[in-house]
């Protein structure tokens, strides 16, 4: 089980969180201007790196808030986490 | 190739088992191949076998970064079945089951395919309706599947608990009798040996590190940890590492890689005659011919390449197993491991050409591709040789995500296996 650093509450066990996928994917501002390729890329394509991954978590059984974190997908170790709207340290 | 037979066994028994040969060569990679398969799991080895046998292709290599069958092929719980909901899926998986039925003969290698049947348990009204829908859909497609009451399920699988006091009582089950299990390593080894006999070079300890493209963008070579190898056709069959390899050709994939776990118990005498699966309480179990209970747990919540899973995930499954089979509570678990599975948004595989000329991909089998190994190899070899899909894998393209033709087995299968 991971020990996840919530930027609001500090390190907490994984069971308190839900994973919310790759970070920095925002819904296109004008969906109607997108081609099918671009829309499919937004919906389905993911970086899925073997190494550092910027991802989102939600502390559902804690403060309830979403935040961003970077984690090494080979060792599962967190590098750091940061609040939405802030830039990574 | 030295063929296996009763006579060969007897002869070697008399000569002290000293007459057996190596089952496949261990060649250094050549400078150029007509086709290169990246990934020496069951699917990659089967692809090479079919390219050589069915399409007469020569000068083929399979590149494996560590040892063949060391990926998900050697880590899975070997459940083989074809009771998928949608027409495209049931024909894909049933194509494979038909090939499994003769695989030991085809390869002259005992893959220990044992059609002992799979019971998929229903615990609530919703399960019951969904499974009956599966039964009907499968039968319309000529795929065997039948509905059993709880008492009939217990008659088929006597150790199963069905009493009403259970937290999630068993209301009935769908039974596919043609479903079964096989020996995972033997599948990799059998294909390796048969492909090698047809001249395929199986190159272990050789990781692809980049894909080189010519001015038109077509595939030209693979850079590996054992040097550069020229080729005009590359088939990527790398399960959890597919995104990484496709990234070498500049392609982003609709895939995420998750750890999936399995466990085996200490070996005991035969106690469990079939495979039992429960989507609702998330458990699946069978007994290997060695006697171990083989138990599959779920995936972790987050992407990872760590090849191990969290303890709370396997605990969750063991609790469900103990509820279904209270007599297994005192069994000790011997080993627990994880494999990295490549999951698509619709939980269906991709067996297809790509936008890069000469680059083909066979991936997205996620938590359930072992069952498809022979069919996957056959269809992918066809696609690579003819540069167009076979009718059975024609729906399983990359473009389906753009065009909205998803094959949504996520809702239909809903359990990892
Ligand atoms: C715990 C677990 C239980 C499962 N249970 C079932 C089940 O009951 N039934 C079922 O049908 N399926 C099951 N599956 C899924 C099944 O194992 C896979 O879908 C299937 O084995 C995939 O086969 P493959 O040959 O594509 O992949 P693999 O066997 O993983 O082969 C891919 C190979 O590519 C190699 N590779 C990766 N990167 C490179 C590189 N850069 N260069 C060279 N080689 C590379 C890897 O080392 C690996 O050997 C399970 C999986 C797991 C992990
Ligand atoms: Zn918090």
Domains of chain B by start residue, with CATH: 6-17+27-79+85-95+97-107+184-254+347-413 (3.50.50.60), 114-181+256-343 (3.30.9.10)
Q: What ligand is nearest to the CA atom of residue A63?
A: 2
Predicted TM-score (pTM) of the model is: 0.97
Among the atoms of ligand 1, which is closest to the Cα of residue B365? 19
For position B412, what pLDDT does the model report?
56
The pLDDT of residue B410 is: 75
Domain ranges of chain A: 17-24+50-89
Q: How many CA within 13 A on the CB side of residue B79?
A: 29
Our measurement of the distance from residue B71's CA atom to the centroid of its chain's CA atoms, rounded to an integer in Å, reads 10
Give yes or no for a contact between B58 and B35, defined as CB atoms under 8 angstroms apart. Answer: no
**pLDDT digits 0-9 by tens, B142-162:** 999 999 999 999 999 999 999
Alpha-helix runs per DSSP H in B101-215: 103-107, 125-140, 150-156, 184-197
Atom of ligand 1 nearest to the CA of B284: 8
- Predicted-complex ipTM score: 0.97
- pLDDT bin (cut points 50, 70, 90) of residue A89 is confident
Query: Atom 51 (ligand 1): residue with closest C-alpha?
Result: B76
Please provide residue B231's backbone torsions phi and psi, each rounded to the nearest 5 degrees: -170, 155
A77 Cβ under 8 Å from any chain B Cβ: no
**What pLDDT sits at residue B7?**
94
Q: State the pLDDT at residue B382.
A: 98
**Residues of chain B predicted below pLDDT 50:** 414, 416-417
Q: Do A47 and B252 touch (CB under 8 A)?
A: yes
CB A2 within 8 A of CB A76: yes
Task: Look at chain B and count its residues.
Answer: 417
Task: Provide the pLDDT for residue B164.
Answer: 87
Residue A3 near chain B (CB below 8 Å) = no
B128 backbone dihedrals φ, ψ, rounded to 5°: -60, -45
CA distance linking residue B406 with residue B66, whole number of Å:
34
Which helix (DSSP H) or strand (DSSP E) does residue B71 occupy?
A: none
pLDDT at B51: 98
| CB-based contacts of A30, cutoff 8 Å, min separation 6 | none
Cα(A62) to ligand 2 centroid in Å equals 5
Q: Give per-residue pLDDT as tens, B20-45.
A: 999 999 999 999 999 999 999 999 99
Q: Which CATH architecture has domain A17-24+50-89?
A: 2-Layer Sandwich (3.30)
């Amino acid at each position: 089980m991971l020990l996840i650093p919530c930027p609001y509450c500090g390190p907490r066990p994984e069971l308190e969180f839900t994973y919310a996928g790759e970070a920095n994917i925002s819904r296109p501002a004008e969906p109607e201007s997108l081609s099918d390729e671009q829309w499919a890329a937004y919906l389905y394509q993911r970086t899925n790196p073997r190494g550092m991954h910027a991802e989102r978590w939600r502390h559902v059984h804690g403060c309830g808030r979403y935040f961003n974190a970077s984690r090494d997908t080979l060792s599962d170790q967190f590098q750091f986490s940061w609040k939405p709207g802030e830039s990574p340290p | 190739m030295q063929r296996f037979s009763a006579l060969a066994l007897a002869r070697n028994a008399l000569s002290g088992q000293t007459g057996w040969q190596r089952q496949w060569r261990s060649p250094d990679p050549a400078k150029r191949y007509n086709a290169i398969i990246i990934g020496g799991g069951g699917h990659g080895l089967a692809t090479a076998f079919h390219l050589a046998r069915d399409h007469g292709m020569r000068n083929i290599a399979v590149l494996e970064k560590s040892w063949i069958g060391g990926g998900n092929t050697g880590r899975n719980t070997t459940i083989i079945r074809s009771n998928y909901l949608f027409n495209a899926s049931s024909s894909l998986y049933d194509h494979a089951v038909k090939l499994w039925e003769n695989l030991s003969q085809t390869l002259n290698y005992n893959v220990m395919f044992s059609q002992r049947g799979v019971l998929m348990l229903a615990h609530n009204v919703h399960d019951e309706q969904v499974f009956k829908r599966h039964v009907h859909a499968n039968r319309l497609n000529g795929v065997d599947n039948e509905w059993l009451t709880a008492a009939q399920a217990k008659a088929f699988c006597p150790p199963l608990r069905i009493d009403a006091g259970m937290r999630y009582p068993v209301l009935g089950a769908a039974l596919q009798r043609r479903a079964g299990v096989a020996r995972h390593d033997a599948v990799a080894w059998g294909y390796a040996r048969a492909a090698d006999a047809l001249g395929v070079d199986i190159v272990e300890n050789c990781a692809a590190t980049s894909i080189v493209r010519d001015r038109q963008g077509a595939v030209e070579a693979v850079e590996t940890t054992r040097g550069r190898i020229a080729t005009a056709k590359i088939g990527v069959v790398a399960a959890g590492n597919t995104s990484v390899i496709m990234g070498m050709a500049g392609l982003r994939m609709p895939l995420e890689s998750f750890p999936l776990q399995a466990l085996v118990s200490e070996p005991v005498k035969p106690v469990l005659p079939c495979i039992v699966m429960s989507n609702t309480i998330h458990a699946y179990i069978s007994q290997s011919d060695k006697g171990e209970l083989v138990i599959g747990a779920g995936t972790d919540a987050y992407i990872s390449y760590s090849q191990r899973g969290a303890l709370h995930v396997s605990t969750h499954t063991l609790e469900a197993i103990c509820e279904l089979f209270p007599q297994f509570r005192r069994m000790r678990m011997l080993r627990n491991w994880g494999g990295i599975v490549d999951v698509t948004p619709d939980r269906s595989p991709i067996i297809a050409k790509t936008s890069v000329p000469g680059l083909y991909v066979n991936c997205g089998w996620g938590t359930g591709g072992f069952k498809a190994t022979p069919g996957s190899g056959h269809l992918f070899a066809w696609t690579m040789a003819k540069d167009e899909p076979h009718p059975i894998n024609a729906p399983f393209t990359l473009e389906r995500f753009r065009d909205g033709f998803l094959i949504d087995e996520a809702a239909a299968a809903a359990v990892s296996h």
